[in-house]
């Protein structure tokens, strides 16, 4: 695989991870910053990502940054996508890749649950106190 050099001086091995890196670089949301760090880490360990999941992550980052999607929803969408990828990887006998994807699915589910404890709902953002 070709090594892509980015303006930041960081070299990523996977072109799909390079695309994610470019979309997340310099963003403001916690979600984008978490994706940015995990993406670099996984590329360093040579963990791949499906084209469908990469496109989903990029779309999630763009929507979260634009205020069109909550970080909770973004994490749940990632959990679903990585769960699908894990099933496909395991069915092909790609145990390492499937294990990482299953772990990513679980982490994103936990991230969504955690963020739901302190993220205001749309009604709360409008001033409607649930208590």
Q: Is residue 6 part of a domain?
A: no
Q: Is residue 34 part of a domain?
A: yes
The Cα–Cα gap between 25 and 58 comes to 12
Q: Is residue 72 part of a domain?
A: yes
Q: What is the pLDDT of residues 36-78, one digit of tens each?
A: 999 999 999 999 999 999 999 999 999 999 989 999 999 999 9
Neighbouring CB atoms inside 10 A of 89's CB total: 21
Q: Is residue 7 part of a domain?
A: no
- Number of domains, the chain: 1
Look over the chain and give the mean of its residue pLDDT values, rounded to a whole number.
88
The Cα–Cα gap between 43 and 30 comes to 20
Neighbouring CB atoms inside 10 A of 67's CB total: 8
Which H or E element spans position 5? Answer: strand 4-5
- Give the whole-number percent of the chain exceeding pLDDT 70: 89
Provide the domain limits for residue 113. Answer: 14-22+29-117
Give the pTM.
0.82
The Cα–Cα gap between 101 and 124 comes to 34
Q: With 0-12 CB in 10 A as exposed, 13-18 as middle and 19+ as buried, what is 29?
A: middle
The Cα–Cα gap between 112 and 76 comes to 6
Predicted local confidence at residue 129, as pLDDT: 76
> Is residue 16 within 8 Å of 51, Cβ to Cβ?
yes
Q: What is the pLDDT of residues 84-128, one digit of tens each?
A: 999 999 999 999 999 999 999 999 999 999 998 887 766 777 787
Q: Is residue 107 part of a domain?
A: yes
Higher pLDDT, 12 or 20: 20
- Closest to 35 measured CA to CA, from 8, 9, 62, 68: 62
27 pLDDT higher than 80: yes
């Amino acid at each position: 695989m070709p090594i892509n050099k980015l303006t930041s001086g960081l070299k990523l091995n996977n072109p799909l991870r390079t695309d994610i890196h470019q979309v997340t670089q310099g963003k403001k949301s916690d979600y984008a910053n978490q994706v940015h760090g995990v993406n670099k880490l996984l590329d360093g360990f040579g963990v791949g990502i499906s084209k469908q999941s990469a496109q989903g992550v990029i779309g999630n980052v763009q929507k979260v940054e634009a205020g069109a999607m909550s970080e909770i929803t973004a994490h749940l969408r990632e959990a679903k996508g990585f769960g699908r990828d894990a099933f496909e990887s395991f069915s092909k006998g790609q145990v390492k890749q499937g294990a990482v994807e299953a772990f990513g699915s679980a982490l994103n589910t936990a991230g969504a649950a955690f963020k739901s404890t302190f993220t205001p709902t749309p009604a709360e953002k409008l001033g409607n106190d649930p208590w």
